[in-house]
């Protein structure tokens, strides 16, 4: 293991979190010397990029080539286009060199030829089509000769760090996360179910007796329907009693007769041939016949009485079979509006006193590995049960959430009920936690290509994040994706050495 230097870089115009200097011998450039100084390496994380740069100590009169590995912090992949300028600055003056493209994916190789010894700033500027970033390394030494460089950077024995090269990380699903102090809420882990919201359902009933026929292409469970879309037809063809076709014909005849009598009555009452009372009776008969006929006509179509969707939604259930005889008023189907859903968590009675503190929840479905918060679904707590029913020994807790495509009504869930908050907890994503026989650990990135396994003590978990009680420090970078590959690398008999040639 070579020397490790921790750098703290704070620049008002640059937003980044921490810097490590880690000396190890990558043979990126070679000099014709009998002896060589140990190569230096710096790792800097900003909001936009990660820079891992390796180079031999800077010596007056010698050209030093930099192997600047740039990763995009959005996806932790190599930056494969753009230009990089490296500048060596002292008292506002200095030298610089620009390369217009990487020499290999993610690796830029500018070079500098310092002329005077001293303490400098080493500045890296990267410009791509998607981003620009500037990284400043303070207190970078230029030595007068190789012997000074060697004495200033003595070797140290190898430690327990795991080598995992940038070229390896760029090829996998890899991510790191800086551990911070954040509030996290204690949770009650339980199970639950997604249900349709009460009041968002409607039972579709038969408006007449007859044989039920389905609307081909529309009437099946789960189908989305629009308002006034035809679902069923009730046919009375061939039936002697309560035949819808007969009722339509009778109502049409009665309406036509009432309409004729009413129009004739208008003329007769004006000529005072009939009394006003007699005319009022004709009008009343006409109004009743019109209403009755319009009611039948409104839902009568080719083949019988049509049953239509009253609103936009989906068919939750069908309660009859096609060709079945149904009575007037018999339920045919259940239609749901599909706008709001209800998440019901079933909680053990042991937590009854804690339910008053519940204010939110996370949940995970059986068909999706992602953990969601109810806030992502515009959710809110509705209520919780104050008694236990004879059908269940659990206490229900209800949340209202928006119905999105990710959710399936009727599906079962893992639910994490959030209660009181723990402030200033060291928190990391759940995906960072590795387990080995109930012993928990994480991988900490100590430098660009160096990682360290840390045993940790776990505290509160909310389903998405985990509190760490020991083993890590605030500001360290924890591997949240790719930890398994690092574990495999640590066990491999062909672990790549710190020195490697890109």
91 close to 56: Cβ distance less than 8 angstroms:
no
Q: Tokens for 82? A: 């753009």
CA–CA distances in Å: residue 449 to residues 23, 389, 490, 497? 11, 58, 13, 10
pLDDT at 493 over 70: no
pLDDT digits (tens, 9 = 90+) for 387-446: 877 777 899 999 999 987 678 888 999 999 998 888 899 999 999 999 998 899 999 999
Rounded to whole angstroms, the Cα distance separating 363 from 408 reads 13
Q: What angle in degrees, to the nearest 10, is found between the helix axes of 276-298 and 244-270?
A: 150
Structural domains of the chain, with CATH? 4-159 (2.60.40.1930), 178-195+340-491 (2.40.30.170), 202-336 (2.40.50.100)
Q: Cα Rg for the chain, rounded, in angstroms?
A: 38
CA–CA distances in Å: residue 323 to residues 146, 233, 235, 242, 306? 96, 10, 9, 17, 15
CA–CA distances in Å: residue 213 to residues 29, 111, 124, 253, 326? 82, 81, 74, 27, 11
Collapsing DSSP states into helix, strand and coil, what is residue 179?
A: coil
Q: Tokens for 435? A: 């387990």
CA-CA-CA-CA torsion sign (155, 158, 164, 167) = positive
Rounded to whole angstroms, the Cα distance separating 42 from 446 reads 11
Average pLDDT over residues 183-193: 90
To which H or E segment does residue 445 belong? strand 439-447
Q: What pLDDT score was predicted for residue 340?
A: 85
Q: Tokens for 442? A: 């994480």
Collapsing DSSP states into helix, strand and coil, what is residue 395?
A: strand
Q: Tokens for 274? A: 């009939």
Percent of the chain with pLDDT over 90: 48
CA 500 to chain CA centroid, nearest Å: 38
CA 230 to chain CA centroid, nearest Å: 37
Q: What pLDDT score was predicted for residue 302?
A: 63
Residue 438 burial (C-beta neighbours within 10 Å; 0-12, 13-18, 19+): exposed
CA 303 to chain CA centroid, nearest Å: 49
pLDDT digits (tens, 9 = 90+) for 247-306: 667 777 887 888 888 888 888 888 888 888 888 888 888 888 888 777 766 656 566 777
Q: Where are the alpha helices (DSSP H) in 161-275?
A: 166-169, 244-270
DSSP 100-157: SS-SBTTEE--EE---S-EEEEEEEEEE-SS-EEEEEEEEEEEESSHHHHHHHS----
Q: What pLDDT score was predicted for residue 356?
A: 86
Rounded to whole angstroms, the Cα distance separating 489 from 162 reads 7
Q: Tokens for 59? A: 């010596």
pLDDT digits (tens, 9 = 90+) for 134-171: 999 999 999 999 999 999 988 776 678 899 999 999 99
- Provide the β-strand partners of residue 360: 418
Collapsing DSSP states into helix, strand and coil, what is residue 410?
A: coil
- Provide the β-strand partners of residue 191: 346, 414
Cα end-to-end span (Å), the chain: 20
> What is the pTM (predicted TM-score) of this model?
0.60
Q: What pLDDT score was predicted for residue 18?
A: 38
- Please choose, from the candidates 414, 467, 416, the residue with its C-alpha nearest in 3D space to the C-alpha of residue 442: 467
Rounded to whole angstroms, the Cα distance separating 93 from 88 reads 8
What's the mean per-residue pLDDT of the chain? Answer: 84
481 close to 431: Cβ distance less than 8 angstroms:
yes
Rounded to whole angstroms, the Cα distance separating 283 from 393 reads 63
pLDDT digits (tens, 9 = 90+) for 465-489: 999 999 999 999 999 999 999 999 9
391 close to 153: Cβ distance less than 8 angstroms:
no
- Please choose, from the candidates 290, 235, 228, 281, the residue with its C-alpha nearest in 3D space to the C-alpha of residue 257: 290
- Provide the β-strand partners of residue 22: 4
Average pLDDT over residues 24-49: 70
- Provide the β-strand partners of residue 51: 44, 70
Residue 481 burial (C-beta neighbours within 10 Å; 0-12, 13-18, 19+): middle
Identify the residue whose tokens are 């309560």: 242
């Amino acid at each position: 293991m070579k020397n490790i230097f921790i750098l703290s870089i704070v620049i008002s115009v640059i937003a980044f979190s921490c810097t490590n200097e880690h000396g190890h011998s990558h043979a990126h450039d070679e000099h014709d010397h009998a002896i060589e100084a140990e190569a230096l390496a710096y790792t800097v994380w900003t909001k936009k990029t990660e820079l891992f740069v390796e180079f031999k100590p800077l010596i007056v009169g010698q050209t030093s080539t930099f192997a600047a590995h740039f990763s995009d912090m959005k996806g932790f992949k190599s930056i494969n286009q753009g230009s990089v300028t490296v500048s060596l600055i002292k008292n506002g003056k200095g030298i610089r060199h620009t390369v217009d493209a990487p020499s290999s994916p993610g690796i830029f190789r500018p070079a500098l030829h310092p002329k005077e010894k001293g303490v400098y700033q080493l500045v890296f500027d990267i410009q791509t089509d998607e981003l620009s970033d500037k990284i400043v390394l303070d207190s970078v030494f230029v030595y007068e000769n190789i012997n000074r460089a060697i004495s200033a950077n003595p070797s140290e024995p190898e430690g327990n760090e795991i080598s995992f090269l940038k070229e390896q990380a760029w090829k996998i699903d890899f991510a790191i996360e800086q551990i911070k102090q954040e509030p996290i809420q204690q949770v009650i882990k339980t199970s639950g179910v997604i249900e349709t919201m009460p009041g968002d359902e409607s039972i579709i009933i038969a408006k007449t007796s007859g044989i039920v026929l389905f609307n081909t292409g529309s009437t099946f469970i789960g189908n989305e329907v629009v308002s006034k879309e035809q679902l069923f037809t009730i046919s009375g063809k061939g039936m002697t009693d309560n035949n819808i076709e007969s009722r339509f014909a009778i109502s049409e005849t009665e309406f036509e007769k009432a309409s004729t009598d009413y129009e004739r009555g208008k003329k007769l009452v004006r000529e005072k041939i009939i009394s006003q009372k007699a005319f009022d009776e004709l009008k009343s008969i006409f109004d009743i016949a019109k209403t009755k006929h319009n009611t039948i006509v409104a839902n009568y179509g080719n083949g019988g009485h049509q049953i239509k969707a009253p609103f936009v939604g989906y068919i939750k259930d069908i309660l009859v079979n096609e060709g079945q005889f149904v009575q007037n008023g018999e339920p045919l189907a259940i239609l749901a509006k599909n706008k709001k859903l209800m998440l019901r968590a079933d909680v053990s009675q042991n937590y009854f006193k804690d339910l008053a503190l519940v204010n939110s929840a996370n949940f995970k479905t059986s068909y999706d590995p992602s953990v969601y918060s109810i806030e992502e679904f515009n959710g809110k707590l509705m209520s919780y049960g104050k008694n236990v029913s004879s059908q269940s020994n659990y206490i229900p807790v209800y949340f209202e959430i928006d119905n999105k495509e990710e959710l399936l009504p009727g599906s079962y869930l893992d639910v994490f009920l959030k209660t009181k908050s723990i402030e200033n907890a060291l928190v990391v994503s759940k995906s960072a936690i590795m387990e080995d026989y109930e012993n928990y650990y994480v991988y900490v990135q100590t430098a660009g290509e160096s990682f360290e396994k840390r045993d940790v003590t776990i505290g509160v978990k909310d389903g998405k994040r985990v509190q760490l009680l020991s083993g890590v420090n605030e500001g360290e970078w924890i591997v949240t994706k790719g930890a398994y590959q690092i574990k495999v690398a640590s066990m491999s008999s062909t672990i790549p050495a710190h020195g490697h040639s890109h």
